[in-house]
Amino acid sequence: MVCGFIGAALGLLGVHIYEIVEELNHSTYGVIGRGEVVADGLQSIAFEMGSLLGFASIIYLLAPAPELAVELDGEPAS
């Protein structure tokens, strides 16, 4: 589950980078306008990836240890 969230975050990174590049290629902004496009893109990358990576780290930290999970099932730990 944690790997899925990390994969989703990396997928979003690629999509956002693609969107930034496409907007810069098809725009007629000046230098200041292009800086705003990049800044807005980086802000959305940080928000969306940070949310997913934070959620993945919470799941990872709250998951039981593997040997504890085996002991709870009633099987002897090795």
One DSSP character per residue, the chain reads -HHHHHHHHHHHHHHHHHHHHHHHHT----HHHHHHHHHHHHHHHHHHHHHHHHHHHHHHHHSPPHHHHHHHTTSPP-
pLDDT of residue 12: 95
The answer as to whether 78 is a domain residue is: no
Residue 78 has pLDDT above 60, yes or no: no
pLDDT value at residue 7:
95
Give per-residue pLDDT as tens, 21-49: 999 988 887 777 888 999 999 999 999 99
pTM reported for the whole predicted model? 0.73
Count of domains observed in the chain: 1
* Residue span of the structural domain in which 32 resides: 2-72
| Mean pLDDT value across the chain | 86
Look at residue 77 and tell me if it is in a domain: no
pLDDT of residue 31: 75
